[in-house]
Amino acid sequence: MSSASGIELIRNALSQVRSKFAMTTKFGLTVSLGPKLGTPFSTKKLGGIISDMREDAVKIKACADLLHSQESGEDYHANKVARQEEKAARIKAEDHRRELDETHRLDIVLDWLSSKSLNDQGFARQEKNLRGRSQITCRWLFSHDKFLQWQNNPTSSPILWIRGPPGSGKSTLCSSAIEFLAKSPTSNIVVFHFYDFAQHLSPEKTLSILATQLLQYRQRLQKIPDELQKIMHAPESLLEKVQNVIKALIEGYSRIYFFLDGLDEETTTKSSWDDAVLVLRFFTKLVDDSPTKVRVWCSSQRRDRISKELQGCCSLDIDGYTRNDLALYLSEEVPKLQWSSPSDQAYILETLKSRAECSFIWAKLMVNTLGECWSTARMEEQLKELPETLVEYYRRFFERMEKLYRPLAWYVGYLLY
């Protein structure tokens, strides 16, 4: 083979690699992160491209080796540029092949977990909680000793239970903690799930949501554990498989935070609570096995069932802190009310603070109601007409409903309280 023909063969092979590289870019094979995770390219076609690129890389190397053995001293210098191009293209092709291979493996596991839409809901809930939060609230948490011990001290209790009454901002506090840890310079791994009584999920599906988020962190590092394929095809129950996937995905990290908000949402029926218990006991076992690596946050109303499962864990009652945050929130919102003089605002502020107790829901309802008033006189009337408590507000609301819908409304109220 002449030097010229050898160079031509290499250039032809390089052209094929570039063409396939462009094809993978055209079809958008890189998997996106977060709530928009997707797999627009078929895994079968991707596997074929990866196989072809392997063959092309072998051809390039074979041609380069043959050319190198035949060339003279003068040819060596003349072909130096071709060799450099060949080496750079081979490295680039190999790197891209590895990236495609990781993407292919990721797609297979994500398809198996089947939790994309549910994760989208979770990310949307997280964003909604943060949008509705007053920026001057929740700050106390990040200097609280129990939170700091849970966050930083490997010998402290790995499970932190945040307890509070209905409407006290537990979910907002949870979202604030998620945001705080995710933005930490220590590159924490933070995954979360918000329970919802209107959408009961099996323990397998709840854990799949968390596993999917962990997998997204792994994809950023391009380190998908090899054993995931074996776990998926193991002769075990689906619950055991998903649990083992989570165990495999936490390897290699120094600290991982799991957030479970709204556990009380699952206490309405025995079957839903039994499913939640399976999730809780999995994490209890996980922190026992990895006490310095895994941290679990639980937030809920006070329930005997939950107390029994989380017995011995560190708990933090937020009632007093909620009252302080409510005072800050109302101090920020009341001056925004139209038709109110400074003296009116002082009276309104004290009235709303005394009625709100520990409920942000009730405080926001009262502020919104007063904000709709068109005069000072109407605002004064509305303030007198407002119920003393949120329970009384709902009672009046339900009484105005058609009788056909009242049982459902009362059931919703029961779930909330």
Q: Which pLDDT score, from 0 to 100, does residue 387 have?
A: 86
Query: Quick check: 296 and 310 in contact, CB under 8 A?
Result: no
Are residues 387 and 267 part of one domain?
no
Are residues 121 and 103 part of one domain?
Answer: no
- Tell me, yes or no, whether 8 and 92 share the same domain: yes
Are 107 and 146 in a shared domain? Answer: no
Contacts of 378 (CB under 8 A, 6+ apart): 339
Distance from C-alpha of 329 to C-alpha of 138, rounded to nearest angstrom = 11
Q: Are residues 151 and 270 in the same domain?
A: yes
**Which of 34, 30, 26, 35 lies closest to 101, judged by CA?**
30
Determine the pLDDT at residue 322. 96
44 plus 149 within the same structural domain: no
Boundary (domain end) residue, out of 61, 91, 113: 113
Cα 260 to Cα 156: distance, rounded to the nearest angstrom: 19
Considering the domain architecture, whether residues 99 and 124 belong to the same structural domain is answered as no
Taking the C-alpha atoms of residue 365 and residue 336, their distance in angstroms, rounded to an integer, is 15
Each residue's pLDDT tens digit in the chain (417 positions)?
555 555 565 556 556 655 655 555 444 444 333 433 344 445 556 566 666 666 766 666 666 666 556 555 556 666 677 777 777 777 776 666 665 566 677 778 888 888 888 999 999 999 999 999 999 999 999 999 999 999 999 889 999 999 999 999 999 999 999 999 999 887 789 999 999 988 899 999 999 999 999 988 876 655 667 788 889 889 999 999 999 999 999 987 889 999 999 999 999 899 999 999 999 999 999 999 998 899 999 999 999 999 999 999 999 999 999 999 999 999 999 998 887 788 888 889 999 998 888 899 999 999 998 988 888 888 888 888 888 888 787 777 766 666 665 565 555 554 454
For residue 25, what are its two tokens?
A: 């870019």
* Structural domain count, the chain: 3
Q: Quick one: 273 and 184 in the same domain?
A: yes
Q: Does 328 reside within a domain?
A: no
Which CATH number characterizes residue 204's domain? Answer: 3.40.50.300
The answer to whether residue 240 is domain-embedded is: yes
Neighbours of 196 (CB within 10 A): 15
Burial class (CB in 10 A: 0-12, 13-18, 19+), 402: exposed
Q: Would the pTM count as exceeding 0.95?
A: no
Tell me: do 162 and 188 sit in the same domain.
Answer: yes
User: Is 329 within the bounds of a domain?
Assistant: no
Examine the fold and report which residue of 272, 297, 317 is the final residue of a domain before the chain moves on: 317
Judge whether 337 lies within some domain: no
Q: C-alpha angle 55/58/59, rounded to 5°? A: 90
Which of 113, 134, 169 is a domain's end point? 113
Examine residue 18 and state whether it is found in any structural domain, yes or no.
Answer: yes
Examine the domain organization and report whether 74 and 145 are in the same domain: no
Please indicate, yes or no, whether residues 28 and 161 belong to a single structural domain of this protein. Answer: no
Domain that residue 360 falls in: 346-416
Residue 265 lies in a domain: yes
Residues 256 and 351 in one domain: no
> Is residue 374 helix, strand or coil?
coil
CA distance 262 to 298: 8
CA angle 20, 26, 212 (to 5 degrees): 100
Task: Give a yes or no: residue 360 inside a domain.
Answer: yes
How many residues appear in the chain? 417
Termini Cα distance of the chain: 84
Closest by CA to 238, choosing from 193, 198, 278, is: 278
322 in a structural domain: no
